[in-house]
A and B are shown apart, each in its own frame.
Chain A
Amino acid sequence: MAMRPIPVDAPAFFHRGPSPLARLAFFGLLSIALLFADTRYRYLEGIRQVAGTVLYPFQRAVEMPAEAVAWVGRYFADKAHLADENVELRQALTAQAPVAQAFPQLREENDRLKTLLDLQARYGNTGRAVEVLYTGRDPFTQKVFVNKGMQAGLAPGEAVLDDRGVVGQVTRVFPYMAEVTLVTDKDQAVPVKVERSGVRSVLFGNGTGRAPDLRFTAPSADVRVGDRLLTSGIDGTYPPNLPVAEVIDIERDTGQMFARIATRPLSGVDRSQYLLVLGQAAAAPARPEEPADSDVVKRGRGRGRRG
């Protein structure tokens, strides 16, 4: 083997560039600028898209062994287990048969009524089934990544469900995958109504391991433990009447402005493997302009509120 030349560098004390402290100061400030730009203004989504696409093959390569193991596991799945599952599914099918049989008729009737009322369908049959690739590694947020993205026409803001209820919302879309922020993520808001009484409120996530709660609800509001919460649909993001959560605890303190209402999500949230992404609801009509005279009244009173 040929002798490798011995590295001949100038001794360290001659040239080392800027000192580590200077480098740290430079890169530290650069990181803080990036952090600020990302949290406050979201300037960097474009860069994230490009870099995410470059990293995608690596991510798929890493997942392949796990997928192979899962496939082998399925292949050798216990026959009895499959038979049990078959029976269960058959029973479920039978149970749902009356609903299914009534459905075409109901839809026809509904369509006719809608035509009569000249209403637009709020959302079509635009559901796309997706599979969860992995949960986000960031311990501060509640996110999962799913196996379809721009390619399948997913868009940020679309609602994500599982078989029991709302799971979250698509927040970022990459070419081949998408990020779903779960309803339990801190300050993730879902406009809801109480199924029993129709009281409207907003459900806020509280972060990992904490129950989401209803905020801005008066202590006197008609909410009881065990009430189911459905999406109200007034935000134009979530289609109306999808189950979201169940009230598990209410603390009414008349001294406080609002009641403290803890809930439990009805969906599997971070445990479901297969999810459904529902297309964006039809755009709601623009908010009506405030009448000019009311503006005058406000100005007359002093500072008008910004609308």
Chain B
Amino acid sequence: MRALTDVVSFAPASPEEILRPPQPWFVLLTLLAALVANMAPASGVFMALRPDFLAVVLLYWCIQAPRYVGVGTAWFVGLVMDVADATLFGQHALAYAVLAFAADYFRRRVLRFPLWQQAVQVAVLLVATAGLVLVVRFIGGAPMPRWTYAAPPIVGALLWPLLSVLLQRPQRPRRRGDR
């Protein structure tokens, strides 16, 4: 019963709470799930609004578990995304590598803020990454995308609080009464 109430309580961890290191398989699983979510078929409005789940999850692990997920991992995951999307080889890889670097730079500061303020900072990072992709594609001769191009990073940032709470669940320290 205790475990159930534990799961149901969705309060985010306070900055003072020390989280245990995540299990590597959990990190891998969440990245895989995000990749699958990215590949899910969509059309119309959903297509235009669909955030880059992989970028948000990567960002989370770059901030929370920098020893497991860094620039190199992000780059490789980006390559996989390039294949899945049939975009230019190296486009997502470059974007994710820059995102991981920025995350490493801001890591210690971001976590001091409440979740919604973290989301604002995440929005800035995601928009900057989308801008980088835009520049890369422009150089490659692509046309200007529609204005909806700006939507996915914003939606991704709005997802940040929810994803943070979900992803940090297994790392929350057990209370004294457990086990």
Binding site for B on A (CB under 8 A): 1, 7, 9, 20-21, 23-24, 27-28, 30-35, 37-39, 44, 47-48, 51-52, 55, 58-59, 61-63, 66, 133-141, 143, 145, 172, 179, 186-187, 206-210
Contacts and interface: CB of A to CB of B under 8 A. Distances in A.
Contacts of B86: 48, 52, 136, 138, 143, 145, 172, 179
Contact of B101 (A20, A31, A135): A20
A47 B90 CA distance: 13
Contacts of A135: 43, 47
Nearest 6 interchain pairs by C-beta: A207-B143, A34-B90, A31-B94, A31-B90, A134-B41, A140-B142
B7 interface: no
A31 B97 contact: yes
B176 interface: no
Interface in B77-103: 78-80, 83-91, 93-94, 97-98, 100-101
B36 A20 contact: no
Nearest to A135: B43
Contacts, number: 132
A134 B41 CA distance: 6
A49 B97 CA distance: 24
A62 B41 contact: yes
Interface residues of B, number: 48
B114 interface: no
A145 B93 CA distance: 22
B172 interface: no
Interface string B92-129: 01100110110011000000000000000000000000
Nearest to A52: B83
Nearest to B67: A9
B146 A30 contact: no
Given A27-B71, A51-B80, A35 B146 contact: no
B36 to A, nearest CB: 5
B169 interface: no
B71 A23 contact: yes
Contacts of B148: 139
Given A27-B71, A186-B143, A209-B146, A44 B43 contact: no
Interface string B44-74: 0001001000000000000000010011100
A134 B101 CA distance: 32
B19 to A, nearest CB: 13
B177 interface: no
B157 interface: no
Contacts of B40: 62-63, 66
Nearest to A171: B86
A9 B66 CA distance: 14
B101 A24 contact: yes
A35 B43 contact: no
Given A35-B91, A207-B142, A208-B146, 13 more contacts: A1-B179, A24-B98, A28-B98, A44-B89, A55-B84, A58-B35, A58-B36, A134-B42, A136-B86, A138-B85, A187-B141, A207-B143, A207-B144
Contacts of B105: 20
Residue among A39, A209, A210 with most chain B CB within 10 A: A39
B75 interface: yes
A55 B94 contact: no
